[in-house]
Structure 1
């Protein structure tokens, strides 16, 4: 083997060994924030489990915990190696019926619970929804600025599934009266729905004055 081939092999081996380093600095911090959020959700779900009373909410919590854990492992693997993970990102399948209860009912004013024993399913489902929305936001904020193509895809692919989990909790809360959905008066609703109209034809874009022009040469 001549010297040129030996040098090329060393370069290739070095590139293979550096695959896990193909991340930008800003991306590293974003990935840490995303993965810390996932860990926080997993740990808090584990804490919530012992307080859940409704079997339906417990089923949601268990299925979501399992899904978040699987996606955390995939994210950690591709972040560590810079390579395609050994498993594909999964699809979360919710069980809730997509039916809403509209309107407001008389309820007692809310105030902070005064003892751990007062924490109920309404509280826990609200905590779950907040965690899922935070994770969704972190994923959506990080994905557009990730330089590693594998990590970018893994983050982006998870966003709709976190939305689905949050939506499932929202539907559960609405069904049980924990999250009430008011509506506008019909005439106000119609005015709001008619507030925007589609664009007809093509928009007239102004010319780009800077294209092809050069500044003064000093």
Structure 2
């Protein structure tokens, strides 16, 4: 009895993009597993565990979509209920940063920073893949995956900002207003309703 594979219509370039995305997803899951035992703050531990579980489910959904092309569904979406109130400005008493001398020095700031960097890189990787796809269902999966990474990055950033790990520098009001007001709407199109 010979097994038959479902015929999958996917271009070589798309397949290589999927390979890159899935490799990044595997690396991200592995990295979060490595970070998990080093968390000290329970809130960060909860964020990491929830994100790790979500990332694993998302990875499985992408693999299933590729292997069972006829059953492509949508990716799960991050349920983000974050209403952040960012803290702006720089803390003048910040301690200069340098790499840790050993893994024993890994702290919650390091862990949350690694999580944030992983989500940022993954969002870019998935959006880049989406821009190369011709299959509309896989393209939508990559777009949703990129948005999921962006939402998880925002959750992580909010944690970091609340604890002073990620500061938001600002310009003085004169410079801020000058930059904002250096652009004006296009008068030709500004009063027309756009439907695309």
* Alpha-carbon distance in structure 2 between the residues aligned to 1:198 and 1:26: 39
TM-score, normalised on structure 2?
A: 0.89
Name structure 2 gaps, 5 residues minimum. Answer: 191-196
* Alpha-carbon distance in structure 2 between the residues aligned to 1:139 and 1:152: 9
Shift of 1:177: 0.5
Name structure 1 gaps, 5 residues minimum. Answer: 1-15, 204-218
Shift of 1:68: 0.8
Question: How do residues 76-91 of structure 1 correspond to structure 2 at under 5 angstroms?
Answer: 76-85=63-72, 88-91=74-77
Which is higher, the Rg of structure 1 or of structure 2? 1
Q: Partner of 1:54 in structure 2?
A: 41
Shift of 1:148: 2.6
Q: Partner of 2:89 in structure 1?
A: 103
RMSD: 1.7
Q: Please, which of 59, 62, 67 is the counterpart of residue 54 of structure 2?
A: 67
Contact residue 77 and residue 144 of structure 2 kept, 8 A: no
Question: How do residues 82-161 of structure 1 correspond to structure 2 at under 5 angstroms?
Answer: 82-85=69-72, 88-94=74-80, 96-105=82-91, 106-161=93-148
Q: Partner of 1:214 in structure 2?
A: none
* Alpha-carbon distance in structure 1 between the residues aligned to 2:14 and 2:141: 14
**Ranges of 4+ aligned residues in structure 1 off by more than 6 Å:** none
Contact residue 100 and residue 171 of structure 1 kept, 8 A: yes
TM-score, normalised on structure 1?
A: 0.80
